[in-house]
């Protein structure tokens, strides 16, 4: 006891402060569990920058959003000059608020940067099998974060009250009216009126500033807690917890701090160089980050010649536009062929085969019961939701793409090119040729996931090593 009192007396002011805090809040305990004593695989590569970068951009968006809200007015009525108050308040921020232009451009560029790093973060999970056991819940939380980001971005896009904001919201909200029975009432509920107007702007403002960010922050915390509970995946897809030393420390693990905090600082530095270059030299990014039509006040009486969402929505918007009556015929034919194939080659008794035929007949009947517009909405939603089912669609005996057949890498590469093509087609004005390209791209996108239980098992797989492979750099 005397030694303890002597040590306490000799402690520095900082140590005494931390002891006082730790006795009332587990600050040091949390730091050790999630950083200093959280052991991560030692073979992380550059693909593992994007998780921390997503957190950085989230902080940027929250901080810049707070400063924007201080001067923004969610009012769709016209001022004395005949300009919508919401649009005028954005111009006021850009022209008259000190450094307001910088805060606004940080926020608008941050929205696109958010989706860039999240898409890359999700692709890393895809190629290294980070959604496989025991990380299914980590992946599901990530998919829910992605859905929240899409909702947050869509609602925030309306707030500048420019031409593309107004008409983009009009088009997307009208899609909900295609839902049978409840669609028209649901669209009115979302808009708060029969057309996009002041009530819509106020609803979207409240959701964008308060409701969705709270849900988003909760999901981010849940995502990180779930990740640290099961441990991080790595490029080899090997569980480092399987081999530990006498002290219970993974043999292939290193403390997250200081090793990966320094590692991530390098990624942050590279990201900030690109981020600031875009802000200062190309904030509109050729009309992809900030569309030129959005610098024109919203006019309900004048429709833009071409309406398209922001680039990060365009792959899914392209699938929506691709779902025409011809695509409905294609889906019906595919359902019929799959039922015929299962009848000829499938296993099981006659009852199971008859059940498959009945299910296919019901599916085809439903396809022709509702109009193609409704199925376009279903396909667009399914293209996002299907990501959450990846843990149960991938039947590969190995996690990482490093140990899969080489032609699997080609499939993943074509998937990325197809996704980029769909994004580009969603920006371009519709044409017969682009429509066919989008339809082929939609079929490939859906086929990639729906056929994954079959193709993910095919080929000769490489031997997975017992320990992670690491090359110092």
pLDDT tens digits for range 241-251: 888 888 889 98
- The tally of CA atoms less than 13 A away on the side-chain side of residue 342 is 19
Residue pair 308/426 in contact by the 8 Å Cβ criterion: yes
Query: What span, in angstroms and rounded, lies between the C-alpha atoms of 233 and 225?
Result: 14
The helix-helix angle for 372-385 and 314-322 (nearest 10°) equals 150
Residue pair 332/367 in contact by the 8 Å Cβ criterion: yes
Return the SS3 of 272: helix
What is the residue extent of each domain of the chain? Answer: 45-241+249-289, 311-455
- What architecture is the 311-455 domain classified under in CATH? Up-down Bundle (1.20)
Q: How many CB atoms lie within 10 A of CB 452?
A: 19
Residue pair 287/163 in contact by the 8 Å Cβ criterion: no
Alpha-carbon 349 to chain mean position = 42
The residue among 217, 156, 245, 252 whose CA lies nearest residue 468 is: 252
Average pLDDT over the chain reads 91
Query: What span, in angstroms and rounded, lies between the C-alpha atoms of 436 and 434?
Result: 5
Q: Which residues contact 244 (CB under 8 A, 6 or more apart)?
A: 250, 251
Query: What span, in angstroms and rounded, lies between the C-alpha atoms of 25 and 418?
Result: 50
- The pLDDT of residue 1: 54
Cα dist. 211→63, 88, 93, 262, 313 in Å? 16, 25, 24, 34, 21
Show binding-site residues: 107, 121, 208, 223, 228
Is 6's pLDDT higher than 70? no
Show binding-site residues for a ubiquinone: 228
Residue pair 130/233 in contact by the 8 Å Cβ criterion: yes
Is 183's pLDDT higher than 90? no
Residue pair 326/367 in contact by the 8 Å Cβ criterion: no
* Digit-coded pLDDT (tens) for 287-298: 889 988 899 999
Query: What mean pLDDT comes out for the span 212-217?
Result: 96
Is 143's pLDDT higher than 90? yes
Query: What span, in angstroms and rounded, lies between the C-alpha atoms of 391 and 450?
Result: 13
User: If pLDDT is split at 50, 70 and 90, which confidence band does 380 have?
Assistant: very high
Cα dist. 320→66, 143, 168, 426, 430 in Å? 34, 20, 14, 9, 12
Query: What span, in angstroms and rounded, lies between the C-alpha atoms of 458 and 435?
Result: 32
For domain 45-241+249-289, is the CATH number 3.40.605.10? no
Q: Within the chain, how many helices (H) and strands (E) appear?
A: 20, 2
Is 368's pLDDT higher than 90? no
* Digit-coded pLDDT (tens) for 309-349: 899 999 999 999 999 999 998 988 888 888 787 777 766 56
Looking at the chain, how many residues does it have? Answer: 473
Query: What span, in angstroms and rounded, lies between the C-alpha atoms of 154 and 172?
Result: 9
Show binding-site residues for heme b: 107, 121, 208, 223
Is 397's pLDDT higher than 60? yes
User: If pLDDT is split at 50, 70 and 90, which confidence band does 5 have?
Assistant: low
Token pair in block for residue 291:
């569309």
DSSP string spanning 135-170?
-HHHHHHHHHHHHHHHHHHHHHHHTT-BHHHHHHHH
Is 2's pLDDT higher than 60? no
User: If pLDDT is split at 50, 70 and 90, which confidence band does 7 have?
Assistant: low
The residue among 46, 118, 48, 127 whose CA lies nearest residue 410 is: 127
Phi, psi for residue 41 in degrees, rounded to 5:
-55, 145
């Amino acid at each position: 006891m005397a030694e303890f009192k002597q040590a306490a007396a000799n402690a520095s002011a900082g140590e005494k402060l931390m002891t006082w805090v730790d006795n009332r809040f587990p600050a040091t305990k949390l730091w050790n569990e999630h950083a200093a004593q959280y052991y991560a695989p030692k073979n992380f590569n550059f693909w593992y920058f994007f998780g921390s970068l997503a957190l950085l951009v989230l902080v940027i968006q929250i901080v810049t959003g707070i400063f924007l809200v201080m001067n923004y007015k969610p009012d769709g009525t016209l001022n004395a000059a005949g300009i919508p108050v919401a649009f005028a308040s954005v111009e006021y921020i850009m022209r008259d608020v000190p450094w307001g232009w910088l805060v606004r451009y940080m926020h608008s560029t941050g929205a696109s940067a958010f989706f860039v790093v999240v898409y890359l973060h999700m692709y890393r999970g895809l190629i290294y099998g980070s959604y496989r056991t025991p990380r299914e819940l980590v992946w599901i939380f990530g998919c829910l974060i992605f859905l929240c980001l899409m909702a947050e971005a869509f609602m925030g896009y309306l707030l500048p009250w420019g031409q593309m904001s107004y008409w983009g919201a009009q088009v997307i909200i009208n899609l909900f009216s295609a839902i049978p029975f409840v669609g028209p009432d649901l669209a009115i509920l979302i808009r708060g009126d029969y057309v996009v107007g002041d009530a819509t702007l106020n609803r979207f403002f409240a959701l964008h500033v308060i409701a969705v960010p709270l849900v988003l922050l909760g999901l981010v915390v849940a995502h990180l807690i779930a990740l640290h509970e099961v441990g991080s995946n790595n490029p080899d897809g090997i569980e480092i917890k399987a081999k530990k030393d006498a002290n219970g420390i993974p043999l292939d693990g290193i403390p997250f701090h200081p090793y990966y905090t320094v590692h991530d600082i390098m990624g942050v530095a590279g990201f900030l160089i690109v981020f600031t270059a875009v802000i200062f030299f190309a904030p509109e990014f050729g009309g992809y980050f900030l569309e030129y039509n959005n610098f024109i006040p919203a006019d309900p009486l004048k429709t833009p010649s071409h309406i398209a969402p922001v680039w990060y929505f365009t792959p899914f918007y392209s699938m929506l536009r691709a779902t025409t009556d011809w695509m409905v015929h294609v889906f019906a034919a595919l359902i019929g062929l799959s039922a015929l194939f299962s009848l000829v080659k499938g296993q099981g008794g006659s009852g199971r085969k008859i059940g498959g035929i009945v299910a296919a007949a019901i599916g085809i009947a439903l396809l022709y019961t509702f109009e193609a517009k409704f199925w376009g909405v279903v396909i667009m939603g399914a293209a996002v939701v299907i990501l959450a089912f990846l843990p149960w669609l991938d039947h590969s005996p190995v996690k990482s793409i490093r140990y899969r057949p080489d032609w699997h890498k080609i499939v993943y590469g074509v998937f990325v090119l197809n996704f980029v093509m769909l994004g580009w087609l969603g920006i371009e004005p519709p044409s017969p040729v682009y429509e066919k390209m989008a339809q082929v791209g939609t079929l490939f996108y859906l086929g990639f996931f729906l056929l994954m239980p079959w193709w993910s098992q095919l080929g000769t797989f490489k031997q997975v090593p017992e320990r992670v492979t690491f090359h110092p750099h």
